[in-house]
Amino acid sequence: MLNQYSEYGLSGAIWGYAAEAGLHAMRLILSGTLDRYPHLTFVLGHLGEGIPYYLARIHNRHAYASKIAGAATAMRTLEHTPSEYFQRNFVITTSGVDDPNALEFALGAGGEGNVMFAVDSPYEDTVAAVEFLKTAPVTDTQRANISHRTAERVFGLH
């Protein structure tokens, strides 16, 4: 798999990490694992490794393939839709993505209580990430959720 990335300089943070982490998350969602273990929570970096931006298509294609018995590929029967699993079982971090448009979309797709602040250290500038959170065009409630409330809930912090 590495050759498909490394020949183009895509093996690291520029693309490969997100592509592989996103693939693993989708495999967890579509494997039925989250039906067997509904209380598992995964933390996925980089505003969801691209998944929030594909949720509508994933939902649409999964529904279609399920309706026609798997289409070209076999699919497990799931109790919920892929987007429901994503919203229920995944928390995404802001790490490495200081983009107000991406944050707004991730809050809508993943759920306002499922986004939390993180810094992709040592690859990203911590000061810039903190400044982004301070100035991001979000409500006070969203900023509190992102900055600490989501982490408190997910990690049982007080």
As annotated, the active-site residues are 120
- 82-89 and 16-30 helices, crossing angle to 10°: 110
- Of the candidates 41, 77, 67, the one whose C-alpha atom is nearest the C-alpha of residue 150 is 41
* Cβ atoms 43, 95 nearer than 8 A: no
Q: In the Cβ-directed half-sphere of 34, how many Cα atoms lie within 13 Å?
A: 24
* Cβ atoms 44, 93 nearer than 8 A: yes
